[in-house]
Amino acid sequence: MIPMSLAQVAAVMDGKLSETADPEAVVTGGVEYDSRKAGPGGLFLAIPGDKVDGHEFAAKAAAQGAVATIATRPIETPAIYVDNGIDALTKLAKHVAAASKAKIIGVTGSNGKTSTKDLIGQLCADLGPTVATEGNFNNELGHPYTVCRVEPDTEYLVLELAARGIGHITQLCEIAPPTIGVVLNVGISHLDGFGSIETTAEAKSELPRFLTADGTAILNADDHRVAAMADRTSAEVLRFGISEPADFWAADIEPGDGRHRFTLWTPDGHAEVRLQLWGAHHVYNALAAAAVGWCLGASPQRIAASLSEAGRLSERRMDVFTRPDGTTVIDDSYNANPASMGAAVRTLGQLPTEGRRIAVLGLMADLEEQSETCHRRLGEQVREAGIDEVIAVAEGTEPIIEGAEGVTATHVPDQAAAIALLQSRLRPGDAVLVKGSRYRTWDVADHLRAKEDTDQ
């Protein structure tokens, strides 16, 4: 974090120092809410929970070198007392962002936020000291937590912006105002919060609308809902895409073994990109990242080199590995919605394999009344992609079987049954995709990973 005295931190948080706290002690580390990560120079955020109360670990954090604990009840170790820990962290993050020289880049969209953020983060790291959201830690806790990791020499801050309703993205932008905003796409997701795709589009548009005239909005030209956001921002607009005219576009796209190659065209020329990431959808993610790199002054050649070297950083996202028995596994089990499911199924269909292609698919959550239609359409996509077999896991996935007419299709009641079925069906040379909304296929992926051999 940007160095501050404990007295300054307390003032920013509207908090009160305990009698055991040294007002002149300097905070140089970040804020950790996991006491195991608390270290010298940092702060520990004690979050009270239903099962575990962080205040009980304040002494451990102090023993590990934490300067103080952000607390909401009395403790014996040095503390900053506040009314609400998350609110206090948010106030601190606002101060850090305002004091920092870092250029702030925000990324949102219904699909691909985390992978694109990871690409942008790796590209920025080639240009200078960079802080980026870890995984998809993009909520009211993860966002200020990431901002507080900024140090005096940080040049780029890359933030993933998520939302489950109107106003959420604006709130995150107010903590750390972006100067570059990327909107990837608008799809069907979190309908329990948004209600409709139109409301989703309105929520995602909060990012370009937040940008000021000296900022840059990077928009997907091939998504008409995103493209329309150009009329709702005062910032400069740059477009990326494949089908429609764009400032950054991909030509001569070749699928290779599932890790695509293409020619990246920019306003300053072109260069060849060979992605290390699996799936055609990453071409769009790479184009968005390329636009950010260009805004930061990188040449097409440097951008292409960075994108060609960038790897997968976040777990359970298009993680392709081969087991000792020759089975290839695509673990994309972190989460799922209709667009990401379709992309994953198409990737399996394009994956070179000597055996069969098998998809183990769990429920896509939060689709409300569109759930049955979306799952049936997923079954159709399985058939269209040339998948040999599909295993639909647990309640709510039965329409996948209905849509996959002509494909060997089985519905199982739970993950244990899916694992048992796989054990009886898998043969050397087969390829397996595992995907579903959070937790719904993790046991299956972990079972397959237990016999992992080498990453691809």
CB hemisphere CA count around 182 (13 angstroms): 32
CA distance 72 to 47: 8
Q: What is the CATH number of the domain that holds 301?
A: 3.40.1190.10
CA R_g for the chain = 23
Which of 265, 289, 309 lies at the terminal end of a domain, its last residue?
Answer: 309
The answer to whether 76 touches 131, Cβ cutoff 8 Å, is no
Which of 309, 332, 349 lies at the terminal end of a domain, its last residue?
Answer: 309
The answer to whether 35 touches 59, Cβ cutoff 8 Å, is no
Same domain, 323 and 298: no
Nearest Cα residue to 309 out of 455, 181, 109, 125: 125
The answer to whether 235 touches 181, Cβ cutoff 8 Å, is yes
Same domain, 206 and 171: yes
pLDDT at residue 451, rounded to an integer: 61
Same domain, 289 and 332: no
Find the length of the chain: 456
According to DSSP, the residues that pair with 130 across neighbouring strands are 156
Residue 91 resides in a domain? no
The answer to whether 30 touches 96, Cβ cutoff 8 Å, is no
pLDDT at residue 450, rounded to an integer: 87
What DSSP element (H or E) covers 79?
strand 79-81
Residue range of the domain that includes 384 = 319-455
Same domain, 116 and 240: yes
User: pLDDT by residue (tens digit) across 319-358?
Assistant: 999 999 999 999 999 999 999 999 999 999 999 999 999 9
The answer to whether 411 touches 401, Cβ cutoff 8 Å, is yes
Nearest Cα residue to 348 out of 338, 357, 340, 339: 357
Residue 92 resides in a domain? no
Residue 129 resides in a domain? yes
264-270 CB contacts, 8 Å cutoff, 24+ apart: 264/290, 264/300, 264/303, 264/304, 264/307, 266/290, 266/294, 266/300, 266/303, 267/294, 268/294, 268/299, 268/300, 269/299, 269/300, 270/300
Same domain, 283 and 330: no
Q: Beta-carbon neighbour count of residue 242 at 10 Å?
A: 17
Q: List all residues 6 or more positions away from 198 whose beta carbon is below 8 Å from its beta carbon.
A: none
pLDDT at residue 135, rounded to an integer: 84
Q: Report the DSSP pairing between strands 43-45 and 68-71.
A: parallel
Same domain, 72 and 147: no
Which stretches of 22-156 are DSSP H helices?
58-63, 85-99, 113-127, 142-147
Question: In total, how many domains does the chain have?
Answer: 3
pLDDT at residue 182, rounded to an integer: 98
Q: What is the CATH number of the domain that holds 343?
A: 3.90.190.20
Q: What is the CATH number of the domain that holds 63?
A: 3.40.1390.10
Same domain, 114 and 258: yes
Same domain, 73 and 136: no
Q: Beta-carbon neighbour count of residue 406 at 10 Å?
A: 7
Which of 58, 85, 112 lies at the terminal end of a domain, its last residue?
Answer: 85
Same domain, 299 and 382: no
Same domain, 202 and 114: yes
According to DSSP, the residues that pair with 178 across neighbouring strands are none
Indicate the DSSP class of residue 56.
G
**Positive or negative CA dihedral for 26, 74, 139, 180?**
negative
pLDDT at residue 194, rounded to an integer: 74
Rounded to a whole number, what is the distance in angstroms from the first to the last CA of the chain? 36
Which residues of the chain are modeled with pLDDT < 70? 190-193, 451-456
According to DSSP, the residues that pair with 261 across neighbouring strands are 254, 274
